[in-house]
């Protein structure tokens, strides 16, 4: 009987031990599940966070802060859920209170500032931005872990500074690696970066559990554990729902951005203009049209090489200036530059340059348009216009000179035949020769480069001299000239005789146009940096059709004249960087307005001028030798000489 009882006791003890082993294995399996679940949550949270902050590179408006807030909330909730599950997996005392929730806000806030640092351009160095952001994220994770554990009443603390430092170092290094992986290649490194960051958080947490051992005044009972399980279910449900909603928002946004990227890619790749990205002085990206434009068979022939290998040397300094002075948010161009293709062919282009960023480094986007054909067409057009003008001039000269030559020929025939006295025809022949000489002189003035002495002139004095010269002619036509030039000097810098010629041409035309006499009003004044001379007559006026032809060679509305006077006038004013504007209505007279740049003599030279030279009767003298080429060009090249 005793043997039977002993056997029964042993069998009961074996069953009890088996049940204990089974329960122990169940508990260990449950704790392992908590640990795995914590790792999955932190990795998934990191993935969602990296996806959200990836939108910072695309959003440049207020929505940036939405992605920042969502990303910081996701990583904060993920770290908090991981922390709570990890406590349960190590059979540590777990609790949830208000102070613990505050640590979540601290971690999320530090994450928010970390994301701001990543997206800012105020820190120029990429490595410094990564390090600063990693420090902020690590401090947020450590504060959540350690401060939340210290937020409940405890009996004693065992702190190991070595393990604490090691946990911080692992968290910092892991965060830096994760950020570097993500920032260098956002499209393919999101999952690796998430796994690295999640593993760093888990390792930091496990080392932190051993680096800070706390004995709490309360004991984890089964009833309290069951309560925490209920709270855990609610917290995990809320956290999962929050992360899921944000993830869905991110997925929808990513899809929209991918579609936009595809559209932009199609636009860039199919553009007829070259679109490229410069990193420093090197080609970083060149689209298909750019390769065709530069006769490159593959991107390797251009990408990675210096742009100065392709740019004409005369533009090197200009391009370096553009690259060195570009400001963010501004676009420069269009600018014409000349390049050489891969095969050495010269390429004329028009470029637009704009600063941007690529791989978190400053870069430049450049659009190049091939204008070689346009240049050829412009050159052909210019040559055609030159030939047309030359033809017009030749025809005009032939016509104007043929008439007096015909007269001369007739008179010579009469004299040679003895039918007339040569003395009677000499005056007429002399006037015809003078007319030919006048035409040739005016043509030489228009066509031959000449050297002129430019001086500072008071426009009033030049005008008074011309009016005095034309007073007799005006009196013969019963015409008066009224001049209002003010009392202040109106300085210009030019050739005195040419300016006089301009006034003579316009005033003579006005006098001859006023058949019945009248008054010519001349007003001379300064407006800002220009001297304006307004000459108005009371003649019959000029029609709009005739007005549009003013200044053309050999076009005149007078019975007698070569039609070169106004052409010479326009050329002279153009060479003095001025303008001539004509306005007229039939029956209301004509108004010519001449604008010339105001140019006062230097103060030191003006002080040494005699008083009579500063008066309207005489102007200053500050000589510059200037060569004027033909055909007319905007401005004149100058050669200065000391006076």
- Comparing CA positions, the residue from 512, 520, 503 lying closest to residue 561 is 512
The residue that leads in pLDDT, 480 or 628, is 480
Per-residue pLDDT band for 377 (boundaries 50, 70, 90) equals: confident
SS3 track for 602-629: CHHHHHCCCHHHHCCCCCCCCCEEEEEC
Q: Inform me whether the pLDDT recorded for 368 exceeds 60.
A: yes
CA 481 to chain centre: 54
Fold category of 455-603 in CATH: Heat Shock Protein 90 (3.30.565)
CA 240 to each of CA 38, 45, 87, 110, 112: distance values in angstroms, whole numbers, following the listed order: 12, 9, 19, 22, 20
The distance from CA 432 to its chain's CA centroid, rounded to whole angstroms, is: 63
More confident residue, 483 or 624: 483
Q: How far apart are CA 295 and CA 297, in angstroms?
A: 6
Q: What angle do CA 422, 426, 427 make, to 5 degrees?
A: 145
Q: Over 60: is that where the pLDDT of 484 sits?
A: yes
Q: So what's the pLDDT on residue 626? A: 31
pLDDT, tens digit, 9 for 90 and up, residues 64-108: 667 677 778 888 888 887 877 777 666 566 566 667 778 878 888
pLDDT at 29: 67
Higher-confidence position of 351 and 156: 351
Give me 435's structure tokens: 């007319």
| Fold classified for 375-447 | Helix Hairpins (1.10.287)
Average per-residue pLDDT for the chain:
74
Residues 314 and 342 sit within 8 Å (Cβ to Cβ): no
How large is the average pLDDT for residues 194-214? 84
Residue 363 structure tokens: 């870069």
CATH 1.10.287.130 residue window(s) in the chain: 375-447
C-beta separation of 148 from 103 below 8 A: yes
pLDDT reported for residue 173:
92
Cα separations in angstroms, 275 against 272, 284, 365, 370, 643: 9, 11, 7, 12, 54
Cis check for the bond before 631: say yes or no (omega within 30 of 0).
Answer: yes
Q: What CA–CA distance (Å, rounded) separates 169 from 187?
A: 28
pLDDT at position 627: 30
- Cite the residue boundaries of each domain of the chain with CATH code 3.30.450.20: 272-374
CATH fold of the domain at 272-374: Beta-Lactamase (3.30.450)
Higher confidence at residue 359 or residue 39?
39
Q: Does the pLDDT of residue 304 top 60, yes or no?
A: yes
DSSP 366: E
Q: For residue 97, what pLDDT is reported?
A: 64
pLDDT class of 256 with cuts at 50, 70, 90: confident
- Residue 233's pLDDT is 63
Which of residues 264 and 461 earns the better pLDDT score? 461
Maximum distance among all Cα pairs of the chain, rounded to whole angstroms:
184
End-to-end CA distance of the chain: 145
Q: Is the pLDDT higher at 155 or at 223? A: 155
- Output the CA–CA distances (angstroms, integers) from residue 510 to 405, 539, 540, 586, 642, in the order listed: 30, 7, 10, 14, 40
Where in the chain are all domains bearing CATH 3.30.565.10?
A: 455-603
Mean pLDDT of 237-254: 66
């Amino acid at each position: 009987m005793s043997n039977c009882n002993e056997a029964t006791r042993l069998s009961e003890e074996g069953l009890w031990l088996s049940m204990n082993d089974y329960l122990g294995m169940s508990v260990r399996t449950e704790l392992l599940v908590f640990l795995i679940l914590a790792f999955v949550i932190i990795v998934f949270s990191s993935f969602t966070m990296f996806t959200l902050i990836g939108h910072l590179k695309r959003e440049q408006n207020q929505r940036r802060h939405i992605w920042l807030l969502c990303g910081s909330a996701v990583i904060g909730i993920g770290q908090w859920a991981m922390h709570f599950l990890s406590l349960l997996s190590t059979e540590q005392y777990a609790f949830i209170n208000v102070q613990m929730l505050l640590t979540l806000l601290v971690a999320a806030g530090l994450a928010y500032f970390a994301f701001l640092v990543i997206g800012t351009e105020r820190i120029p160095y990429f490595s410094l931005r990564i390090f600063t952001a990693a420090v902020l994220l690590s401090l947020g994770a450590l504060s959540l872990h350690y401060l939340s554990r210290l937020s409940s009443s405890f009996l004693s603390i065992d702190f190991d500074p070595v393990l604490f430092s090691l946990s911080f170092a692992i968290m910092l290094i892991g965060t830096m690696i994760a950020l570097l992986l993500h920032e260098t290649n956002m499209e393919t490194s999101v999952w690796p970066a998430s796994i690295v960051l999640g593993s760093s958080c888990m390792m930091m947490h496990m080392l932190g559990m051993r680096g800070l051992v706390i004995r709490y005044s309360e004991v984890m009972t089964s009833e309290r554990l069951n309560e925490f399980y209920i709270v855990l279910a609610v917290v995990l449900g809320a956290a999962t729902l929050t992360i899921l909603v944000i993830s869905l928002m991110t997925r929808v946004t990513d899809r929209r951005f991918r579609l936009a990227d595809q559209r932009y890619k199609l636009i860039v790749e199919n553009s007829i203009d070259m679109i490229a990205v410069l990193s420093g002085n090197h080609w970083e990206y060149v689209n298909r049209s750019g390769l065709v434009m530069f006769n490159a068979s593959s991107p390797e022939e251009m990408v990675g090489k210096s742009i100065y290998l392709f740019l004409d040397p005369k533009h090197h300094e200009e391009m370096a200036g553009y690259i060195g002075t570009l400001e963010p948010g501004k676009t420069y161009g269009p600018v014409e530059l000349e390049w050489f293709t891969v095969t050495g062919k010269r390429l004329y282009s028009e470029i637009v340059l704009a600063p941007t960023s690529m791989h978190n480094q400053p870069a430049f986007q450049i659009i190049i348009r091939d204008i070689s054909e346009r240049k050829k067409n412009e050159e052909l057009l210019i040559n055609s216009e030159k030939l047309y003008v030359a033809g017009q001039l030749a025809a005009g000269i032939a016509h104007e000179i043929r008439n007096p030559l015909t007269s001369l020929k007739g008179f010579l025939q009469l004299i040679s035949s003895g039918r007339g006295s040569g003395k009677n025809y000499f005056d007429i022949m002399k006037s015809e020769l003078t007319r030919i000489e006048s035409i040739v002189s005016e043509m030489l003035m228009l066509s031959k480069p000449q050297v002129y002495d430019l001086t500072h002139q008071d426009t009033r004095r030049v005008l008074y001299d011309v009016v005095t010269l034309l007073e007799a002619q005006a009196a013969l036509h019963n015409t008066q000239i009224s001049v209002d030039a003010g009392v202040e000097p109106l300085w210009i810098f030019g050739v005195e005789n040419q300016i006089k010629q301009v006034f003579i041409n316009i005033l003579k035309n006005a006098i001859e146009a006023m058949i019945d006499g009248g008054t010519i009003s001349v007003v001379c004044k300064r407006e800002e940096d220009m001297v304006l001379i307004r000459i108005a007559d009371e003649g019959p006026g000029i029609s709009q059709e005739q007005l549009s032809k003013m200044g053309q060679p050999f076009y005149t509305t007078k019975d007698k004249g070569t039609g070169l006077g106004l052409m010479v006038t326009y050329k002279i004013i153009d060479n003095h960087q001025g303008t001539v504007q004509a306005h007229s209505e039939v029956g209301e007279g004509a108004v010519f307005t001449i604008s010339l740049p105001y140019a006062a003599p230097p103060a030191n030279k003006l002080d040494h001028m005699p008083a009579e030279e500063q008066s309207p009767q005489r102007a200053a003298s500050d000589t510059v030798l200037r060569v004027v080429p033909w055909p007319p060009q905007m401005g004149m090249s100058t050669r200065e000489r000391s006076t």
